[in-house]
Amino acid sequence: MTGWINYNLDQIGHGGLKKEIAPGKNHGVFLLGHILTSEDSISLFLGKGELLYPEYNLIFTSGSKLQPADKYPSTELLREQLNKVFQRNTNLYSEMSDSELNEPHSLLKGKMEDDFFKTKEGVITKFLAHQLHHTGQLSILHIIK
Amino acid sequence: MTGWINYNLDQIGHGGLKKEIAPGKNHGVFLLGHILTSEDSISLFLGKGELLYPEYNLIFTSGSKLQPADKYPSTELLREQLNKVFQRNTNLYSEMSDSELNEPHSLLKGKMEDDFFKTKEGVITKFLAHQLHHTGQLSILHIIK
């Protein structure tokens, strides 16, 4: 997944990330930040420590009000920070056993069967799908003018 | 992944699939067929039998010439067939052991280290990323007019 995302971001380039995926819709800077903060939040769900970039959790979540692309941190910085989050998560995963993956995740409230993620493995696989989904949206920026 | 894809296809609806993801670019019918034939081809890479829909391998691969949306089979039929492919693959995966996942895939030519997929597990995880990526592209159809 990390290779897939970085490949697409490379193809789009920093200039391309400033474009919108459709008129009046999210631009690439927001989507990059959204992938970053989603990936960052995995550590909370796994009970493995705090967010590396808590400030992004306010501005890049799905309920945040979209600002112009140049109001956000630079895409150079965001990509560097994304790679730090990828590296932290790769390290976390390498320390997890199969049995830990089957544990309820750490933000679970209420019954496991009613929860979207359920287990720690559910967190990892669903965020993987989510991140790749948004990467597909981002990829539009490479083909449009 | 199957749930994620079906959820998005439901959101877009059959009418929405006829739209293009960007002016002059792929429409949803092509992307749906592309996901279908990619998913179908997994059985070849795993050495688990022929394509269910070999005719789609000609018209929905990345090199195929794009035709107008109404020149393709109906999206109702494509979705039904996609679910048949998902079901076949789910059955295949349930019969595979961890050691089989580490075997070289069945279409490997040349050295494993030079191959994009390498192992059977590599086939499954990379197609998963590919399918979710195109689902993200499809999701644009739900937000554009």
Average pLDDT of chain A, as a whole number? 96
Average pLDDT over residues B107-123: 96
Measured in angstroms, the CA of B4 and the nearest CA of chain A are apart by 8
Q: Would you state the pLDDT for residue B145?
A: 73
The Cα A45–Cα B20 span in angstroms is: 37
Tell me the chain B residues in contact with residue A22 when contact means C-beta distances shorter than 8 Å. Answer: 22, 140, 143-144
Q: Do B25 and A144 touch (CB under 8 A)?
A: yes
In angstroms, what CA-CA distances link A43 with A37, A99, A114, A118?
A: 11, 17, 21, 15
Tell me the chain B residues in contact with residue A127 when contact means C-beta distances shorter than 8 Å. Answer: none
Q: Does B138 touch chain A (CB under 8 A)?
A: yes
- For residue A137, what pLDDT band results from cuts at 50, 70 and 90? very high
Q: Does B66 touch chain A (CB under 8 A)?
A: no
Q: Would you state the pLDDT for residue A73?
A: 98
Compute how many other C-beta atoms are within 10 angstroms of the C-beta atom of residue B97. 8
Q: B 2-31 residues with CB below 8 A of A?
A: 4, 8, 21-23, 25
For the segment B71-89, what is each residue's pLDDT rounded down to a tens digit?
Answer: 999 999 999 999 999 999 9
Q: What is the pTM of this model?
A: 0.92
The answer to whether A22 touches B140, Cβ cutoff 8 Å, is yes
Average pLDDT over residues A79-101: 97
Tell me the chain B residues in contact with residue A128 when contact means C-beta distances shorter than 8 Å. Answer: 132
Compute how many other C-beta atoms are within 10 angstroms of the C-beta atom of residue A126. 16
Average pLDDT over residues B120-130: 96
